[in-house]
Amino acid sequence: MTETLLESLLTCPACGHAERLVMPTGACQWFYECPACKALLKPKPGDCCVFCSYGSVPCPPIQMARATGKAGCCG
């Protein structure tokens, strides 16, 4: 099994501010307020969290699902 990455570079689509963050491992993060422009980020349709939509690495539950061949996330 591959190692789960816990850090992701989250980039705000409104202003381009990027911040390296540690992702939660047991749940999805549905909202994130950009510290630069105060935009409230929400997942894009079909994504489970802001990291899957705007991060350099998908969230840990998605990484695990892909590694094991199982569908779903954050259930």
Residue 2 lies inside a defined structural domain of this protein: no
Q: How far apart are the first and last CA of the chain?
A: 20
pLDDT tens string 31-42:
999 999 999 999
Count of CB atoms situated within 10 Å of the CB of 56? 13
pLDDT of residue 41: 98
pLDDT tens string 10-68:
999 999 999 999 999 877 899 999 999 999 999 999 998 999 999 999 998 888 888 88
Work out the pLDDT band at 73, boundaries 50, 70, 90: low
Q: Phi and psi for 20 in degrees, rounded to 5?
A: -85, 125
Which residues span the domain enclosing 54? 7-68
**Number of compact structural domains in the chain:** 1
Burial class (CB in 10 A: 0-12, 13-18, 19+), 40: exposed
What residue spans of the chain are helical by DSSP H? 50-54, 60-68
Share of the chain above pLDDT 90, in %: 64
